[in-house]
Amino acid sequence: MSHQSDRSHHRWVQSHNLPQPQLKLQPKAQKEPMFYYFAYGSCMCPVDLKRSLGENTHDYIIGPAVLKGYRLGFYSYSPTRKCGVLDVLPDDQAHVKGVLYHLPWRLSAYLDNREGVSQSLYRRETVDIDCGDKVYKNTRTYIVVNKLSEELAPNEWYSSVVLRGAVTCGLPEEYCWSLFDHMYKLQQRSQDHLLQSLEKAL
């Protein structure tokens, strides 16, 4: 019986002391390259931005942000929107509020395409952005290349997208009302000019 027990013990030891396969350590996954992007117009709305980038952008939002030394203006005509669209112009006494994104680099070309970079509608500009208690340097934004001599009114659709983005992403209520007032006055002025032109034609 003792011999049988010894043989059983020997088989058990053999089966539990087999050479273990060498475990290969997997290399750490490379982090995806990212870039910071400051949106001040229709791109503040993540739903509208998704239309161009092809994926949800809510998760890439860092938060409400400020671009110092610039002011807003509708100094460009968009062939796609068929109306005046937003631009930023240097102004030491002003600032522009918007939304800071942290986007994957793979979306960069789609963003350039949306802004009409290849058509020289907008160009990239590198700026410093204040967000929370931090300054984000080397942040991308877009500036109109060939500016109009005076502002051109946005249409209702573009205005609603801009305001929806501003409200959704938490821009201050006072700023949202100021933005609404600016767009409304431009639209009223455009209508007045149209009525005057019709009256002269009659």
* Residue 141, both tokens: 């934004």
Structure tokens at 34: 């990212």
**Residue closest to 164 by CA, chosen among 84, 81, 99:** 99
The β-bridge partners of 68 are: 95
Structure tokens given for 35: 């870039």
DSSP at 132: T
Query: Would the annotation count 175 as a binding residue?
Result: no
For residue 55, what is the DSSP state? S
Q: List, by residue number, the catalytic residues.
A: 115
Pairing of strands 34-39, 61-78: unpaired
Among the listed residues 87, 91, 44, 64, the one whose alpha carbon sits nearest the alpha carbon of residue 174 = 64
Question: Is 39 annotated for ligand binding?
Answer: yes
Is 41 assigned a ligand-binding role in the annotation?
yes
Whole-number Å distance between alpha carbons of 44 and 68: 17
For residue 3, which phi and psi values (nearest 5 degrees)? -65, -40
Three-state secondary-structure class, residue 6: helix
Buried-state track 120-138, b at ≥16 Cβ within 10 A, e below 16: ebbeeeebebbbeeeebee
Annotated binding-site residue? 37 = yes
- Is 40 annotated in some ligand binding site? yes
Q: Which residues are annotated as a binding site for substrate?
A: 37-42, 158
Q: Which residues are annotated as a binding site?
A: 37-42, 158
